[in-house]
Amino acid sequence: MADQDGVAALERAIAEASEFLARIPALDARELEAGFVRVLGRKGGVLTGALKALPSLPADLRRELGARANRLRVEIEAAHEARREALRRDAERRAAAGLDLTMPGRERWVGAAHPVTRVVDEICEIFRELGFTRAIGPEAESEWYNFGALNFPADHPAMDMHDTLYLATPEEPGPRGGRILMRTHTSPVQIRTMLEQAPPIRVVIPGWVYRKDTFDPSHAPVFSQIEGLVVDEGVSFVDLKATLVHFARRFFGAGTGVRFRPSYFPFTEPSAEMDVQCALCRGAGCPACKGTGWMEILGCGMVHPALYQACGLDAERYTGFAFGMGPHRIAMLRYGVPDIRMLYEGDMRFLRQLA
């Protein structure tokens, strides 16, 4: 009798659950959850209760009905989950239909590094791929570091290229002293690096340099420079060219034309200027490149033996190369900035444009 009742209850539960399962795709959220609790609720669900009573049934019935009931449970659970998901998506769609999605989104302030900083970082990163690390040095320097050790002859016209700001402080005594000035280039850090460490040397040197120069659209009294220095045994002019051509193509684009022209710097020999094909006219000649089709990008050369001597390195054993470029000028080219002064103004509109 008890068996009969149990079997009947189980069959009723299966019937009710089957009927619920069939209705699931049409139910709304409230009906779905209510029905699910009625059938499969942990306390009092009809199918849950029937499944709990299974052990009391005869083995043969238990097997057959139990399997059916369990299968049904799994199906209901899956259908319930699927319906829930469908309803959620429906709700979203309905909610969205009430919004004007052409209205603007909610912004947050976004800042950025200075355009020149970003150019500096990009350049340094390219050289990092070639094994260079970053070195720096002081902006106030002695004459020896800025000129003497770099093979600038005293009272030479080469000094005309470096209109120098001096400090009203006493001279620094000693062989590496002299008047104190605001460095006119980052090259003193070449000397500091060679004094501090033995080759192999592979550094890039970003920094600020000073000239006694008034502001105009293409000149600033204080501007950034990136210097590079490589010193080791067996470093040659071919390595200089290869390294800098690699840099130029990474920075300006793979197909960029590059040329090296002889030039003069007291601290390198042979010295060169590296030009890249004018990005505006692609070499055809335009006002930006003064009609030459080329843009002067950096100065470079093989480290002059006098520098090794100044730093106590063997000039017959070691060779190396150095280069220097102006990130301000490169940033102006890259971002199309017509006047260098804009890079010193801090105008929020300008900074946001170039962010």
Partner 1 sequence: MNVSRRWLEGFLRRPLDARDVATRLAMAGAPVDAIEPLAPGLEGVIVGLVEEVRPHPNADRLRLCLVNDGSAERRHVVCGAPNVTAGRKYPFAPIGVTVPHGKGGGPMTIERARIRGEVSEGMLCSARELGLGEDQSGLLELDTEAAPGTRLLDAVPVGDDRLVVDVTPNRPDLLGHKGIARELAASYRIPFRLPAIPGSPGATSPTARRVDGTTATIAGLRFGIEDRDGCARFLGARLRGVRVGPSPAWLARRLAAVGVRSINNVVDATNYVMHELNQPMHAYDASRLRGPSVIARRARPGEAVVTLDGVSRTLTDEMTVIADEAGAVGVAGVMGAAHVEVTEATTDVFLECAWFEPRRIRRTRRALGVSTEASYRFERGVDLWGGPDALRRCIELIQATAGGELVEEPLDVWPQVTYPPRIFLRPARVTQVLGVELELRELERCLTAIGATVVSKPADQRIAVDVPGWRPDITAEIDLVEEIARQHGYDNFPTELRPFRVGLRVDAPLETAAARVREALAARGLFEVHTLPVGPSEGPESVQLLNPLSAEEAYLRQRLIPGLLRQVELNWSRQTRDVRLFQIGSVFRTGGGPRPVEETHVAAVVTGARDPAHWTDPARIPAPELRDVDHWDLRALFEACVALALPGASVQVDGAAWVARTPEGRIAGRAERLDAEAPPWAAPVYGFELILDPAPREAPRFRALPATPAAERDLALILPAGVAAAQVEAVLRRAGGALLERVEIFDEYRGPSLPAGTRSVGFRLVLRAPDRTLRDAEVDGLVGRVVAALERELGIALRAS
193 makes contact with partner 1 (CB under 8 A): yes
201 makes contact with partner 1 (CB under 8 A): yes
Selected binder of partner 1 within 55, 170, 312, 338 (CB under 8 A): 170
Q: Which amino acid is at 244?
A: L
Burial of 343 (0-12, 13-18, 19+ CB in 10 A): buried
Q: Pick the piece of the chain touching partner 1 (CB under 8 A) from 10-18, 38-46, 79-87, 230-238.
A: 230-238
Selected binder of partner 1 within 34, 236, 284, 314 (CB under 8 A): 236
Q: Pick the piece of the chain touching partner 1 (CB under 8 A) from 18-26, 37-45, 82-90, 100-108.
A: 100-108
347 makes contact with partner 1 (CB under 8 A): yes
Selected binder of partner 1 within 67, 112, 284, 288 (CB under 8 A): 112
Q: Pick the piece of the chain touching partner 1 (CB under 8 A) from 28-36, 43-51, 63-71, 240-248.
A: 240-248
136 makes contact with partner 1 (CB under 8 A): yes
169 makes contact with partner 1 (CB under 8 A): yes
Q: Pick the piece of the chain touching partner 1 (CB under 8 A) from 17-25, 37-45, 80-88, 242-250.
A: 242-250
- The nearer residue to partner 1, 84 or 114, going by C-beta atoms, is 114
- The nearer residue to partner 1, 56 or 353, going by C-beta atoms, is 353
Burial of 17 (0-12, 13-18, 19+ CB in 10 A): buried
In the complex, what is the shortest distance from the CB of residue 310 to partner 1, in angstroms, rounded to a whole number? 14
98 makes contact with partner 1 (CB under 8 A): no
- The nearer residue to partner 1, 18 or 117, going by C-beta atoms, is 117
Task: Check whether the bond before 188 is cis (ω within 30° of 0).
Answer: no
Q: What's phi and psi for 214, nearest 5 deg?
A: -90, 160
Q: Pull the structure tokens for residue 149.
A: 């050790």
Do 209 and 186 contact (CB within 8 A), yes or no?
yes
Selected binder of partner 1 within 15, 22, 140, 288 (CB under 8 A): 140
To 10 degrees, what angle do helices 2-23 and 29-40 make?
Answer: 160
Q: Pull the structure tokens for residue 338.
A: 């017509």
Cα-to-chain-centroid distance, residue 349 = 23
Measured CA to CA, the distance from residue 141 to residue 144 in angstroms comes to: 8
Q: E strand or H helix at 127, and its extent?
A: helix 115-129
Measured CA to CA, the distance from residue 301 to residue 257 in angstroms comes to: 19
Q: Which of 229, 131, 146, 152 is nearest to 181 (CA)?
A: 146
Q: Pull the structure tokens for residue 242.
A: 């290869």
- Per the listing, tokens 């399962």 go with 21
- Scanning residues 264 to 323, which ones bind partner 1 (CB under 8 A)? 264, 269-273, 290-292, 302, 304-305, 319
Q: Pick the piece of the chain touching partner 1 (CB under 8 A) from 54-62, 72-80, 86-94, 214-222.
A: 214-222
Q: Pull the structure tokens for residue 52.
A: 């709990």
Q: Which of 283, 323, 316 is nearest to 300 (CA)?
A: 323
206 makes contact with partner 1 (CB under 8 A): yes
- The nearer residue to partner 1, 38 or 134, going by C-beta atoms, is 134
In the complex, what is the shortest distance from the CB of residue 4 to partner 1, in angstroms, rounded to a whole number? 49
- The nearer residue to partner 1, 13 or 182, going by C-beta atoms, is 182
Selected binder of partner 1 within 156, 218, 284, 288 (CB under 8 A): 156
Cα separation values, 124 from 49, 166, 204, Å:
72, 30, 7
- Residues in binding contact with partner 1, number by CB under 8 A: 98
- The nearer residue to partner 1, 55 or 262, going by C-beta atoms, is 262
